[in-house]
Chains A and B, each alone.
Chain A
Amino acid sequence: MEADVRDLFDEDALFDPFEDGPEGDVDPAAAAQVTIGAPLSAEEAAPAVAAAPEVDERTAQERFRDLLKETPAQRRVMLALVDFCRQPKTGEEMDARTEELLRYGFSIYSPVVFRELLEEAGAIRYAVFDDEGNEVAEAHGAVAEGEGPVESGDRCGSVPGEGLDGATADRADAEPCAMSSEQYFDGQETVELEFLEVTDERPGLWVAMPEGLEVVDEQDDAGEIRDLLAAEPKYLDIYHQILDFCTEDGGRSAKELDRLVNDSPLLEEPRRYSGYFVGRLERKGALEWRGGWCTTQAGRDMIAEALAEVAQ
């Protein structure tokens, strides 16, 4: 080709952002009021900044059920954690239990965040008890949106922050603070300075809420597995084969399951692979991954039921 691509460049056709528009296109009065690129003032930005928090009117049971739906991969971990604190448990015990439940799984949530999610959903709560075992009212964490600073008396011995800026004054503790003092010599006189000593928080325990336990107790793995098998009678034999195959100690690998069922004529049209069945059985609690796919007790019960039906 003889022509250079640059020869095709038509300068007249270029868009010029600074070119004057057709007359009458711009209202000079309106243009004078608008400064393009000017930052918003704090007042203009305020509605976006201070959006009113939404009030959650769901019951604790609804919140917990919704949480389970929103985090299907962690559903069993969450249910097991709530079940675990039918008896009060320390944070360390909860950490250990969470890690045990996640031994073969993965979650971006730390054990602390699991507890936070469950607490927010109203499934568990953090309770602090005194030496006699009576519950002590405690407040933890961040100040809730819109909550004012604590305007209590000055129990810590320092000056309340009156007039500092009006928004934050003082969040004095309800309990008296540990104090210490030290003398300093500044070259002319000895002055005594007082200090607040940081104290340890009384550790609390995690306790399951009745609403949380209600949701745990309403779980019916056996019923859900039966529903799954009833919904796909065509594949009943495949499901049973997989459940039976995975009763082996140490479980079965995905490749072993592929070899078991992928060549079955039942899976030719539509084409299915073992993962389809494993995923469904796992979601319903019939299989779980423990370094290999293993049949759970609920899955074993299904096999026993099927065998009993055949025997009849």
Chain B
Amino acid sequence: MAKDMTVAAVLDSRAATYSMLARLYRSELDADYLAKLRQMRCPVNTGNADVDAGYKLLHSFLSHVWERTLEDAARDYLRVFIGSNTTGHAAAYPNESVHTSAERLVMQDARDEVLAVYRAAGLESSTRWRSGEDHIACELEYMQVMSERAAAACAAGDMTKAASTLMAQHHFLDDHLLGWVGFLTDEMLKFAQTDLYRGLAHLTRGFLTEDKAFLDEVLAEELDVEAQLHGDRPVADADAGETAPADPSSQVA
């Protein structure tokens, strides 16, 4: 029997994917999370080459788990995200500031901006977190939390709240994640030696692109109104490319 693919189910699924991505960037893989990942089914032929490649590499990694898998993954995490010298190009640095500041330093403007966004959403970073709020794991976690809020609002029938939450996500994607994740994932592919982090790079890039297209579609009407009000955002964002519906107003979810 076919399962219903409702908007609420899609929103839940987005939250789960953001959660998984955030977890994989936050710290090294551990035995519990590896066991959890191995329960996962990897979709094929999703229509996005990066997502397909990402899931396929992840599947390859998860299907070849053996006694040294956790060691290999931990070393690759270190190699990919931390690196071993101070040239500023020794790793795929996971903080937005590094990629958006001329000096390639952490704790620059991008960090202040995302911190303001988190606070506006009522979120504070944990005192245990020491890697900067513009770390990719934090930014993805923000998207996870907002996806959960949108799903809850949708389930409660509060479509206005759902739309405003999704709009915040749309802006965050535009203003932050999509602005630098391309650089990060390119560098991840340069440094990663396991299918886990190669797959993660592809999956992150592909999923964020797809999510942006999804938000463009469900928020077409709101984006149109916003563009008319502010006059600075073109109708159906130009960077939505070919995936943007020709008539956004007819695509409102």
Residues of chain A whose beta carbon lies under 8 Å from any beta carbon of chain B = 37-42, 44-46, 48-49, 91, 110, 112-113, 115-116, 140-145, 149, 156-165, 167-173, 177, 179-180, 182-187, 190-191, 193-201, 203-204
* In the complex, per-residue mask of B25-55: 1 if CB is within 8 Å of any chain A CB, else 0: 0000000000001111111110001101101
Check if B64 sits within 8 Å of A164, measured CB to CB: no
Q: Please, how many angstroms separate the alpha-carbon atoms of A182 and B44 in the complex?
A: 12
Partner of A116, one of B1, B42, B68: B68
Check if A141 sits within 8 Å of B43, measured CB to CB: no
Chain B residues with CB under 8 Å of A195's CB are: 41-44
Check if B89 sits within 8 Å of A159, measured CB to CB: no
Q: Please, how many angstroms separate the alpha-carbon atoms of A144 and B189 in the complex?
A: 14
Given A168-B202, A198-B59, also A159-B49 (CB < 8 A): yes
> Does B71 touch A at the CB level, under 8 Å?
yes
Q: Please, how many angstroms separate the alpha-carbon atoms of A42 and B190 in the complex?
A: 12
Given A112-B68, A142-B76, A157-B44, also A173-B63 (CB < 8 A): yes
Q: Of residues A49, A161, A198, which shows the largest number of chain B Cβ atoms within 10 Å of its Cβ?
A: A198
Given A145-B193, A190-B2, also A49-B87 (CB < 8 A): yes
Chain B residues with CB under 8 Å of A141's CB are: 68, 72, 194
List 22 interface pairs A-B (beta carbons < 8 Å), by A numbering.
Answer: A39-B102, A40-B88, A40-B89, A45-B90, A142-B193, A158-B45, A159-B49, A161-B49, A168-B57, A168-B192, A168-B202, A169-B53, A170-B57, A171-B56, A171-B57, A172-B56, A173-B60, A184-B3, A190-B2, A195-B41, A196-B56, A201-B64
Q: Please, how many angstroms separate the alpha-carbon atoms of A58 and B90 in the complex?
A: 29
Given A91-B67, A185-B2, also A196-B41 (CB < 8 A): yes
Chain B residues with CB under 8 Å of A164's CB are: 49-50, 53, 202
Question: Smallest distance from the beta carbon of B174 to chain A beta carbons, Å?
Answer: 22
Check if A193 sits within 8 Å of B49, measured CB to CB: no
- Write the chain B residue with the least CB distance to A180: B41
* In the complex, per-residue mask of B94-129: 1 if CB is within 8 Å of any chain A CB, else 0: 000000001110000000000000000000000000
Partner of A37, one of B40, B76, B103: B103
Q: Please, how many angstroms separate the alpha-carbon atoms of A39 and B90 in the complex?
A: 12
Residues of chain B whose beta carbon lies under 8 Å from any beta carbon of chain A = 1-6, 37-45, 49-50, 52-53, 55-57, 59-60, 62-68, 71-72, 75-76, 85, 87-90, 102-104, 186, 189-190, 192-195, 198, 201-202
Partner of B189, one of A38, A110, A165, A201: A165
Partner of A158, one of B52, B104, B201: B52
Check if A201 sits within 8 Å of B56, measured CB to CB: no
Check if B68 sits within 8 Å of A140, measured CB to CB: yes
Question: Smallest distance from the beta carbon of B166 to chain A beta carbons, Å?
Answer: 18
Question: Smallest distance from the beta carbon of A276 to chain B beta carbons, Å?
Answer: 38
- Write the chain A residue with the least CB distance to B101: A39
Check if A198 sits within 8 Å of B63, measured CB to CB: yes
Chain A residues with CB under 8 Å of B67's CB are: 91, 112, 115
Question: Smallest distance from the beta carbon of A161 to chain B beta carbons, Å?
Answer: 4
- Write the chain A residue with the least CB distance to B62: A198
Question: Smallest distance from the beta carbon of B186 to chain A beta carbons, Å?
Answer: 6
Chain A residues with CB under 8 Å of B62's CB are: 198
Check if A171 sits within 8 Å of B195, measured CB to CB: yes
Chain A residues with CB under 8 Å of B66's CB are: 91, 140, 201, 203-204
Check if A168 sits within 8 Å of B189, measured CB to CB: yes
Question: Smallest distance from the beta carbon of B115 to chain A beta carbons, Å?
Answer: 24
- Write the chain A residue with the least CB distance to B51: A158
Given A143-B194, A194-B43, A196-B55, also A183-B2 (CB < 8 A): yes
Chain A residues with CB under 8 Å of B87's CB are: 40, 44-45, 48-49
- Write the chain B residue with the least CB distance to A147: B193
- Write the chain B residue with the least CB distance to A142: B193
Chain B residues with CB under 8 Å of A158's CB are: 44-45, 52-53, 55-56
- Write the chain B residue with the least CB distance to A92: B67
Check if B198 sits within 8 Å of A168, measured CB to CB: yes
Q: Please, how many angstroms separate the alpha-carbon atoms of A195 and B42 in the complex?
A: 5
16 other A-B residue contacts (CB within 8 Å) besides A143-B194, A168-B57, A196-B44: A38-B103, A39-B104, A41-B89, A145-B193, A158-B52, A161-B56, A167-B189, A168-B198, A171-B60, A183-B2, A183-B3, A185-B5, A193-B43, A195-B43, A200-B63, A201-B63
